[in-house]
Structure 1
Amino acid sequence: MGENREVVSLLYLHGVGNGDPRDAWRRALDNALQDAGYPGLDEVEVIAPKYPDVLRTVDGDKTIKIPPVTTPRLSAADQRDVRRRVERATAELESILGEPVPASPVGVTDSLAPIVLRVLRQAHNYVTKPGIRARTLRMVLDELPEEGEIVIVGHSLGSIIAIDLLRRLPPKLTVTGLVTIGSPAAHPNLHEDSDRLEMKLPVDHVGWWVNVWSNGDAVTGLRGIWRHFPWALDLQVGLGLDHRTTTYLRAKPVATAIGRGLFGSLTKELAIVEGTPDVALNSLEVRLALWLAYAQFLRDHLKGATQERFGAALRVVQHEVLERLIENYRTDGVRIPQQLLDLRVSPTGLIPEGPSDRDLPRPKPLTQLSKEEAVLALVALATANPVRPYEIDVPDDVRRQAFHDLTVWMGLGGGLGENLHIAMQSASKAVYPVDQWKLWVGIGIGAAVLVAGPIGLALAAPAGLAGGAAIIGALSAFGPGGMVGGLVTAGAITTTGAGTIAATLVSSSSTAEDVEVTVIQLLTAAILRSREGLEQDLGVWLAMSEIQRQTGREVARLAAYSDEKAPGVEALRRKARAAERAMAYMVKNRLVEGLTDEEPKGEEPFEE
């Protein structure tokens, strides 16, 4: 195993029925653990109390009191820290367990009704009859150690008992992970007139919670438990109509979650990968380094709790982007620069010898880019949210300071960063009738300029994995959706690429905001080139001209029959206005050679 620690104990809580006197659940789990690559249960202390007789009683012994809640009330700051710690662990586990099974009708039949009713009846009795509840909890608590670590597995009604138990455990007993399977906890009648099962926020002594339900298991209500327990990870599997615990325990995601809780990671937190030393970074890798440097400069200038949140979010995104990129490189047989491997981090930050969120590994200074080469890459970064999908407001003065630090780090001088900041503000005010700098930059909705650069690749989040990264064709990923921190390979916009960019933006799949922000990016690049005395790129003008032409044609085509204020037509007009305003600014400020809005002087007839 990748972690050096003692094997923790396992608490198994059964559901309705006879309590599984032959422990068939144990044999099923033992085999499933070994199939998943973990040790079996031979060396694990297993605690499996039997309480079927208690559940069948009318109301149990009313003289036995319900065990008291032992979890302390947390301050807002402590609760925030717990929530982030649990979310980190949950996100890591989610990436290991894989994608849920797509929802599909299995054909629940009336023959299952008796099973469902029996489970729900006993579950309702448990939560509403204090005698049954108190005696069951006491029986379980009497078998638990006073301290140490345990993994709790609860099936069916046992999941309800497990949830109820979480806040009543001995104070020195830590729950490494909770796995609930076939749980009826989503049923509304178990939550009526009582909040005893409600836990909207994670508790301090629980590492993570995975709830696994089958898309044919009617006991679960064919849904997860997120509504009542938002911090639990709901995972859907396809087990047919089966509700048996042995079937659930044989499912690979269930065995993997339990195995990870008992034995830790199958491999080290960061798998050892041999890098290639002294190899220059390619275009994609350079922009990856720029993104990380910019994000870390932003964090450096933030203060207090905002800095802490930003650093924690950056750790998660940095881990996901790098690990996915490295995995893709390994799959494709691409050499991996050692500089890239040196930037890897643990997703949780729980490794004692690992860096803290304030001391994440930084990329080496990049001095190989000229100002001309850096313009579009800087604009793409400056108009993006570097910790996407997390939304953290970054003050304008912090961005300005980060721009300065970034361009100094690149060996291009702090003046370039100052001019970038000025160009961004000027472009924003030119395109929008009012300054909406914070609206579109602060939340990072900007559509990164994706063009056919040297590699034509971008990092974008795959569906279902917030913040992850996969290499895809740049033009096919045009638009803001799923971009990881605005990391792009924005090469020089060429004359041949203008039409493609315009066609993508004019399409109905791109919003007016996509076009406005992209136009702002293009205009920012033109203004920055002007302030730095660099040669203008005619492709910028041609791209905006083509946007205006294509949107104008679409407006004319649709307006002939559509309502005057039809939303689609209005969106097209808004796209056209963005390009028109940017082009007017470029002409007025002489950003395009040979174009001016001045009146001609004298008579200078054209020669034929």
Structure 2
Amino acid sequence: MGENPGVATLLYLHGVGNGDPRDAWRRALDKSLRDVGYPGLDEVEVIAPKYPDVLRTDDGDKTIKLPPITTPRMSAEEQRDVRRRVERATAELESVLGEPVPASPVGVTDSLAPIVLRVLRQAHNYVTKPGIRARTLRMLLDELPEEGEIVIVGHSLGSIIAIDLLRRLPPKLKVAGLVTIGSPAAHPNLHDDSDRLEMKAPMGHVAWWVNVWSNGDAVTGLRGIWRHFPWALDLQVGLGLDHRTTTYLRSKPVATAIGRGLFGSLTKELAVVEGTPDVALNSLEVRLAMWLAYAQFLRDHLKGATKERFGAALRVVQHEVLERLIENYRADDVRIPQQLLDLRVSPDVPSDADLPRPKPLTQVSKEEAVLALVALATANPVRPYEIEVPDDVRRQAFHDLTVWMGLGGGLGENLHAAMQSASKAVYPVDQWKLWVGIGIGAAVLVAGPIGLALAAPAGLAGGAAIIGALSAFGPGGMVGGLVTAGAITTTGAGTIAATLVSSSSTAEDVEVTVIQLLTAAILRSREGLEQDLGVWLAMSEIQRQTGREVARLAAYSDDKAPGVEALRRKARAAERAMTYMVKNHLVEGLTDEEPKGDEPFEE
């Protein structure tokens, strides 16, 4: 099919006006494709119908019927599979296109009003007058192939037609990508008394959809289309007040999206990067390897649909983290261990293929492993995706992880038991599981520069690069707790407490962080390791600082003011943990009682 059988066909749908008889859009797109590294349009079959006369008619010939809807009904399982496939493709495309341009104060002038009104008038006529719709759609369908792959680009009114066309394509024709630019599809009057443009769920024959809008283009209503089409990727660009198709097509994100649909990714294979195989992983890189190993052990023990979802989510996160990390390392001119390069995930590998696994860690001692293990125990390893993992699966995964590290399965069992004891001490009920499951807690410490400074040991090569890659996923992101696992020291206690007491952290953040601290203390005791006084000092500081804040605010606030109540919850969490530590002799010199040997821990 097409001039080049390995390339998709391009369907371009113009907006209002005369249909661009000189095809200026084609020259603009050809150049911008070449500028971003793709071939031009020489080898692409291009279909660019012109339909201004059809749009300018009244209701058209009433004898022409709308083409039938050809998209088949899908079962719930088929809809789930399509949604995940489209989301996976969209996430990869989003990483390629880059971040949206922040909104800028671009004013909309009165001179744009006629353009906006003309576009909206014709768009409204199209969606409300069956004769115009029927003639336009049948004209387009007559020019399309019956099978193969096609990329659809719709500008302005053409985006409305493209959306309408999706459900009426030949059954064997697949859409390799839909790119809408300058679309008015978010305007409410196009959706009144009509569901023609509503499309809440992705379609099985459409790979992905990108909608690009300029922050000064009044035709778009100065907003994306997500509300009506939540599976589309909205991307804001800064093109000023310009609504012309040539301006949109010259922008890098638009050209990149169209090129990806026509030709595929610029690099089918992951770029080869030279690593340094003989250099040992630093402490942060070790934690990264621990996270990957733990996440994969979790997947090993899950079953059925949950295992499939967890594995797919892990594939996305592992790919994004490793690529961002390697990009940061190269930008900072930091050596890249070959072990990290070996963990990269190619986006072109089938979703059911095995993920690269880290090599076993045998150089980490129990003392060094405690805090990193505790951070994992209370983390969500596939954040931002939220997938409930049964308690017994976590326990089995930690047994496997500590064996993999050469520390023995008993450490994993003790970790699981320590977390249970700490959780029950801080949360008298099982509410703690809700927060642990979504991965909050100490990860809040990576939110600001102080937390990042604490997380990166002084002079650690690559420390800034790896923290930049991990913290880019936000507080509580992929391994937020892992990054801060080394920060809980005697010298860092006051700073940690100040971060947690501040209004930027919630009571749940503090409660789960206290669970992490107490779990570490219990685990050290069970393993016969020396306690870290920084744990006690951190909780003592939380108590002191929250108490001071309560005293200051309660003087004038309402008795049950939410802010005061949140501070009291923070203080209670630290108090419960400290009481447990004293009763169970976890800090020397804080009790007059003699230790009771092998007596079990008090719950």
In the superposition, the TM-score normalised over structure 1's length comes to: 0.91
Q: 1:570 to 1:45 in 2, by over 3 A?
A: same
Q: 3-state SS of the aligned residue for 1:486?
A: helix
- Aligned 8 A contact 1:460 1:470 in 2: no
> Which whole-Å CA distance do the structure 2 matches of 1:79 and 1:289 have between them?
34
- Aligned 8 A contact 2:439 2:476 in 1: no
Gaps of 5+ in 2: none
> Which whole-Å CA distance do the structure 1 matches of 2:358 and 2:447 have between them?
25
Q: 1:469 to 1:125 in 2, by over 3 A?
A: farther
Aligned to 1:246: 246
Q: 1:358 to 1:157 in 2, by over 3 A?
A: same
Aligned to 2:413: 418
Q: 3-state SS of the aligned residue for 1:471?
A: helix
In the superposition, the TM-score normalised over structure 2's length comes to: 0.92
- Aligned 8 A contact 1:387 1:485 in 2: no
Q: 1:286 to 1:52 in 2, by over 3 A?
A: same
- Aligned 8 A contact 2:447 2:475 in 1: no
Cα deviation for residue 98 of structure 1 reads 1.4
Cα deviation for residue 396 of structure 1 reads 0.9
Q: 1:138 to 1:593 in 2, by over 3 A?
A: same
Q: 1:99 to 1:251 in 2, by over 3 A?
A: same
> Which whole-Å CA distance do the structure 2 matches of 1:524 and 1:3 have between them?
65
Q: 1:600 to 1:430 in 2, by over 3 A?
A: closer
> Which whole-Å CA distance do the structure 1 matches of 2:342 and 2:595 have between them?
60
State, as a whole percentage, how many aligned pairs show the same letter.
94
Cα deviation for residue 220 of structure 1 reads 1.1
Give CA-to-partner distance per residue, 1:575-606, whole Å, 9 cap, x none.
Answer: 11111111100000111112226599999999
Cα deviation for residue 491 of structure 1 reads 2.3
Give CA-to-partner distance per residue, 1:391-432, whole Å, 9 cap, x none.
Answer: 111111111111111111111111111111111011011112
Give structure 1 regions of 4+ aligned residues with deviation exceeding 6 angstroms. 1-5, 451-456, 458-470, 473-479, 599-608
Cα deviation for residue 12 of structure 1 reads 0.4
Q: 1:477 to 1:539 in 2, by over 3 A?
A: farther
Cα deviation for residue 562 of structure 1 reads 2.6
Cα deviation for residue 565 of structure 1 reads 2.3
Cα deviation for residue 441 of structure 1 reads 1.4
> Which whole-Å CA distance do the structure 2 matches of 1:462 and 1:282 have between them?
10
- Aligned 8 A contact 2:180 2:211 in 1: yes
Cα deviation for residue 558 of structure 1 reads 2.4
Q: 3-state SS of the aligned residue for 2:480?
A: coil
Cα deviation for residue 274 of structure 1 reads 1.2
Deviates more, 1:315-324 or 1:539-548: 539-548
Aligned to 1:133: 133
Q: 1:105 to 1:138 in 2, by over 3 A?
A: same
Give CA-to-partner distance per residue, 1:266-310, whole Å, 9 cap, x none.
Answer: 223422111111321111111011000100111111111111110
- Aligned 8 A contact 2:321 2:469 in 1: no
> Which whole-Å CA distance do the structure 2 matches of 1:307 and 1:75 have between them?
21
> Which whole-Å CA distance do the structure 1 matches of 2:66 and 2:598 have between them?
99
- Aligned 8 A contact 2:334 2:462 in 1: no
> Which whole-Å CA distance do the structure 1 matches of 2:2 and 2:460 have between them?
24
Alignment root-mean-square deviation, CA: 5.2
Cα deviation for residue 563 of structure 1 reads 2.6
- Aligned 8 A contact 2:215 2:239 in 1: yes
Q: 1:444 to 1:135 in 2, by over 3 A?
A: same
- Aligned 8 A contact 1:61 1:131 in 2: yes
Cα deviation for residue 152 of structure 1 reads 0.6
- Aligned 8 A contact 2:68 2:168 in 1: yes
Q: 1:463 to 1:299 in 2, by over 3 A?
A: farther
Cα deviation for residue 478 of structure 1 reads 13
Aligned to 1:409: 404
Deviates more, 1:259-268 or 1:246-255: 259-268
Q: 1:135 to 1:74 in 2, by over 3 A?
A: same
Q: 1:150 to 1:603 in 2, by over 3 A?
A: closer
- Aligned 8 A contact 1:59 1:132 in 2: yes
> Which whole-Å CA distance do the structure 2 matches of 1:145 and 1:68 have between them?
17
Q: 1:148 to 1:454 in 2, by over 3 A?
A: closer
Q: 1:97 to 1:591 in 2, by over 3 A?
A: same
> Which whole-Å CA distance do the structure 1 matches of 2:598 and 2:238 have between them?
81
Aligned to 1:314: 314
Give CA-to-partner distance per residue, 1:59-101, whole Å, 9 cap, x none.
Answer: 1122111111111111111111111111111111111111112
> Which whole-Å CA distance do the structure 2 matches of 1:490 and 1:266 have between them?
38
> Which whole-Å CA distance do the structure 1 matches of 2:89 and 2:258 have between them?
14
Cα deviation for residue 569 of structure 1 reads 2.0
- Aligned 8 A contact 1:494 1:539 in 2: yes
> Which whole-Å CA distance do the structure 1 matches of 2:481 and 2:602 have between them?
50
Deviates more, 1:237-246 or 1:290-299: 237-246
